[in-house]
Amino acid sequence: MNESWWSWDHAAAVLPDLLVAFFKYTLVATVLGTLIAVVLGLVVAMVRRISPAIIRTPVTWVVEFIRMTPLVVQLVFANMVLSPYIDSTFAIGIWVLGIHYTTYMAEVYRAGIDSVPKGQWEAATALSLPQMRTWRAVIVPQAIRSTLPALGNYAISMFKETPFFVVIYIPEMVRIAQTYGGDTFRYTESITLAGLIFLVSSYPTSVLIRRLEKKLA
Amino acid sequence: MPENIAPGGTGSTSAPHIEFRDVVKSFGDNTVLKNLNFTVGHGERVTLIGPSGSGKTTILRLVMTLEELTGGYIHVAGQPLQYEEKGGRRQRVPDKQRRRTTTQIGMVFQHFNLFPNMTVLENIIEAPST
C-alpha cells in the first residue's frame, strides 16, 4: 500500500479516452435518444387519445410492456434479436433507449394534454378548426409548456442511463473507465473522472432546461 | 326547456337558416330539451330567455356541435349538422361535412376561451384555411 490513492498521472492518461467516449457515445446517444423519445412520445400520446380502440389497445399494451421491463433487459434482448439485421450495436442501443423513454414521455404528454382546459378544445371546435390544426396550433403548444420540467428530468435521466450500454459492449465512458481500471488496477481515477464528467455535463443541461421553462412560462 | 320559442318558426318569411326538428338532449337521466322545434330565418335576431338550467346554453352548444344530439335533427343553411335521415335511418354526418357547415357559424363564449399561446392578432385571425 505504498501507492497513493490518487494518481494525477493515471488521471491524465485516462481523461482523453473518457472525453472521446463521452462525445462519441454518451452525448450522441442522449441527444438522439431524447429526440426519438420527444417525437415518438407525442405521437404515442396522440394515438392513445384519438385513435380507435383497435389501434389504441395494442399501442397501450406495448407501452405498458416496455414501461414494466428494465432497460438493461431490453438492451440485451434487442441486441440479440436485431444484431443479425443491424450492423451497428450503437444504433440498436440508441433506439432502445429512445423507445424506452418514449413510453415515459408519452405519459408526460398525456398529463400535459389533459391539463389544457376543456374550453380550448371547445374554442377550436367553435372555430371549426381541422383536427390537425387544433393539435398543432392550440393543444400541443399549451401542453408542452406544462410538460417541460418532466421532459427535462427524463432527458437528464436518459443521459445517466447511457452506462447501461456496457451490457451490449458499446465502448461508452463507463466501459472505457472500467477497461482502464482492469488494465492498470487504477479504478479510482477512471471511475471518479467518469462521474465528474457526468456531473459537469448534467448541470448545464438542467440550467438550460430551467431557462427554457422560464422563457415559455 | 325554453317554452317561449314558437314551434315551426318565429315569424320570418325567408327560408330557415337554422332549424331544430324534434331535438332531444339529455345529460344522463336529465332530459334538458324535449322534442324542441323551432326555426330561425336569414337575418333574424332571436333572444333566448329562460331561467337558469332551462337549456339556453345547451341550444347554442348544440348548434356549435359542442354537444352531441340525443335525438332529432338540426339543419343549418339547409345542411344537416350532426345527424341526417338517410333511407329512413338516423345517421351521423361525416366530420368533414359537419365542419363545412359549422364554418358558417360563430360563437362568443361566456368566458371567451382565448388561446393564451397566441397573440391578440393571432387570436383574431385564427380560422380554418378553407
Query: Would you say the pTM of this structure is higher than 0.90?
Result: no
- Residue A39: partners with Cβ closer than 8 Å, 6 or more residues away: none
Asked if A144 reaches chain B (Cβ–Cβ under 8 Å), the answer is no
Q: Residue A1 falls within a domain, yes or no? A: no
Q: Please give the residue of chain A at the shortest CA–CA distance from B62.
A: A126
**CA distance linking residue B9 with residue A173, whole number of Å:** 78
Range of the domain at B75: 16-125
* Per-residue pLDDT tens digits for A14-62: 999 999 999 999 999 999 999 999 999 999 999 999 889 999 999 999 9
Dump pLDDT digits (tens) for B30-86: 999 999 999 999 889 999 999 998 999 999 999 999 999 999 999 998 899 999 988
B117/A138 CB distance under 8 A: yes
Q: How many independent structural domains does chain A possess?
A: 1
Q: Which among A119, A122, A137 has CB closest to B126?
A: A137
Residues in chain A within 8 Å Cβ distance of B116: 142
Q: What's the domain range around A177? A: 9-216
Q: Does B51 reside within a domain?
A: yes
In a domain, A91, yes or no: yes
The CATH number linked to B104 is 3.40.50.300
Output the pLDDT for position A116.
Answer: 94
> Mutation test of the interface with chain A: which of B58, B66, B115, choosing the one with the most A Cβ atoms within 10 A?
B115
Q: Which residues fall within 8 angstroms of residue A168, CB to CB, at 6 or more apart?
A: A75, A76, A79, A89, A92, A93
- Domain membership of residue A2 (yes or no) is no
On whether residue A4 sits in a domain, the answer given is: no
Total residues found in chain A within this entry: 217
Assess if residue B40 is contained within a domain: yes
Q: What is the mean pLDDT of residues A77-95?
A: 94
Contacts of A133 (CB under 8 A, 6+ apart): A124, B128, B129
Once rounded to an integer, what is the mean pLDDT over residues B87-95?
89
Contact A128 B103 (CB under 8 A): yes
> What is the model's pLDDT at position B13?
52
* CB within 8 Å of A86: residues ≥ 6 apart: A92
As a three-state string, the secondary structure of A41-106 is HHHHHHHHHHCCHHHHHHHHHHHHHHHCCCHHHHHHHHHHHHCCCCCCHHHHHHHHHHHHHHHHHH
Q: What is the CATH number of the domain that holds A192?
A: 1.10.3720.10
Instruction: Tell me: ipTM over 0.85.
Output: no
Residue A3 belongs to a domain = no
Q: With respect to residue B120, please indicate whether it lies within any of the assigned structural domains.
A: yes
In a domain, B9, yes or no: no
Tally the domains of chain B: 1
Q: Measure CA B51 to chain center.
A: 19
In-domain check, residue A98: yes
In a domain, A161, yes or no: yes
Which one is predicted more confidently, A97 or B7? A97
* B3 occurs within a structural domain: no
